[in-house]
Structure 1
Amino acid sequence: MTGPVRVLVVDDDPLVRAALAMVLGGADGLALVGEVADGAEVPAAVAATSPDVVLMDIRMPRVDGLTATERLRHQSGGPEVIVLTTFDADDQVLRALRAGASGFLLKDTPPAAIVDAVRRVAAGEPMLSPTVTRRLMSHVADAAAPATDDRRTRARARLALLSDREHEVALAVGQGLSNAEIGAQLYLSVATVKAHVSRLLVKLELTNRVQVALLTHDADLV
């Protein structure tokens, strides 16, 4: 990416917007390009500012962050989304991740960690550790065992579409590894890992690495 990472903030709390503006405005390599107070304003703001990353509140009065995220991620070439929440086990967070958000941040996250998360997501790197993903999955697991079994079966059927090497890469993504770490583990170049990730995303009809990680967790393989 050339130039600063362009960031749009979406939150109905003016104090949160002001705090994020201070954090982002003082960070090297980042540029705050807009602020809006509701998910309903997101399409127009994205069209006007062309952000690379959107920091998206989950709960807003008219259009919530989940709906706004789903709409954004259905657009070709849309920005990456990091959802903002006050609880790390919120079922809405998991739904947003399944819809295509690249990760989530608690609203009391230290400023340096917010900046790091934005940079990592803009660079296409994972920002959810395997521990965080497992905890989310555990907290919002389906209540009934048959539904869980059905989800596992469906997930494994989808992963069966991959080649053996793509399957290995998908499992490594599910472990939260970066491209460089996957390359070292599987004796592949970073460019080759990127190519495998791109192909498996197309085959699985997913938009980012977090969704791959969730699928491997659904399949109970990591």
Structure 2
Amino acid sequence: MREQRAAARILIADDHQLLADACKSLLEPEFSVVGIVTDGRHLADAVAEFKPDIIILDVYMPRLNGLDAGEQVKQKNPGIKLVFLTMTLAADVAAEAFRRGASGFVLKQSAGDELLLAVRKVNRGESYLSPLIAKETVTFLLNKREPFTEEKRITKRQSEILQLLAEGLSMKQVASVIDVKPGTVAFHKYRMMETLNISTNAELLGYAIKHQMISS
């Protein structure tokens, strides 16, 4: 008698607890949901603790957005598969997700069966893109090989600080979250403004929204 293969281990990262719980109910018992985290900053620790095969994550998450958090996970754990579950229909965001290592991109407004289909395909080593997003457009953007170019002009640390500032944290609060001195946060903030040629906090906020760090 052939030994039954263990169910794939899934970690869910979404700041909406009700949605995360609904996803868990949908995926079990076919898959083993090993944990739920509610912000991108705790994702790396959860990966180390739960050792998932697949992560289902949102693009927009507090403390660290899903694109950056997912990319960090893939750099350290290339075998883990990422499935983005999000509200955004933007093809450039889908392309950026795949560029950073995603295997699937599903919309929250789709039926639950679509998420299940996506996870099954990704678990088999295939990729999945919601049919509500034009595949040709995503392919075109991927082939251009141009990531969010302006975002690449600031460092990962600066991107991290910018998201926290855009979420409304003070420089002192940001310093506490990322464990640096407030002066270091101020230094990075003004270097960003200089690099991006912007002069106001409102422009910084607009930049964060444009680059999917926070929702509009």
Q: TM-score range by the shorter chain?
A: 0.5 to 0.7
Q: What secondary structure sits across from 2:116 in the alignment? A: helix
Instruction: Supply the distance in 2 between the matched residues of 1:137 and 1:125 (Cα, whole angstroms).
Output: 16
> 2:10·2:34 contact (CA, 8 Å) conserved in 1?
yes
Note if 1:132 corresponds to 2:158.
no
| Aligned equivalent of 1:169 | none
Amino acid at match of 1:72: V
> 1:85·1:105 contact (CA, 8 Å) conserved in 2?
yes
**Aligned-residue offset at 1:119:** 1.5
Q: What secondary structure sits across from 2:127 in the alignment? A: coil
Q: What secondary structure sits across from 2:128 in the alignment? A: coil
Q: 2:11 aligns with which of 8, 13, 19?
A: 8
| Aligned equivalent of 2:44 | 43
Amino acid at match of 1:135: T
Instruction: Supply the distance in 2 between the matched residues of 1:32 and 1:132 (Cα, whole angstroms).
Output: 30
**Aligned residue runs from structure 1 range 44-59, under 5 A:** 44-59=45-60
> 1:89·1:135 contact (CA, 8 Å) conserved in 2?
no
Instruction: Supply the distance in 1 between the matched residues of 2:96 and 2:62 (Cα, whole angstroms).
Output: 18
Instruction: Supply the distance in 2 between the matched residues of 1:137 and 1:124 (Cα, whole angstroms).
Output: 19
Instruction: Supply the distance in 1 between the matched residues of 2:34 and 2:83 (Cα, whole angstroms).
Output: 16
| Aligned equivalent of 1:115 | 116
Instruction: Supply the distance in 2 between the matched residues of 1:36 and 1:76 (Cα, whole angstroms).
Output: 18
For normalisation by structure 2, the TM-score amounts to: 0.58
Unmatched segments (≥5 aa) in structure 2: 147-216
C-alpha spacing 1:67/1:129, structure 2 compared with 1 (3 Å): closer
Amino acid at match of 1:6: R
> 1:94·1:136 contact (CA, 8 Å) conserved in 2?
yes
Aligned-residue identity in percent:
34
**Aligned-residue offset at 1:23:** 0.8
For residues 60-114 of structure 1, give each alpha carbon's deviation from its aligned partner in whole angstroms, at most 9, with x where no partner exists.
1210000011111112444100111112225333211101111201012222221
C-alpha spacing 1:110/1:91, structure 2 compared with 1 (3 Å): same
For residues 151-201 of structure 1, give each alpha carbon's deviation from its aligned partner in whole angstroms, at most 9, with x where no partner exists.
6xxxxxxxxxxxxxxxxxxxxxxxxxxxxxxxxxxxxxxxxxxxxxxxxxx
Instruction: Supply the distance in 2 between the matched residues of 1:128 and 1:60 (Cα, whole angstroms).
Output: 21
> 2:107·2:130 contact (CA, 8 Å) conserved in 1?
no
> 2:105·2:130 contact (CA, 8 Å) conserved in 1?
no
Unmatched segments (≥5 aa) in structure 1: 143-147, 152-222
Amino acid at match of 1:134: E
C-alpha spacing 1:11/1:90, structure 2 compared with 1 (3 Å): farther
| Aligned equivalent of 1:196 | none
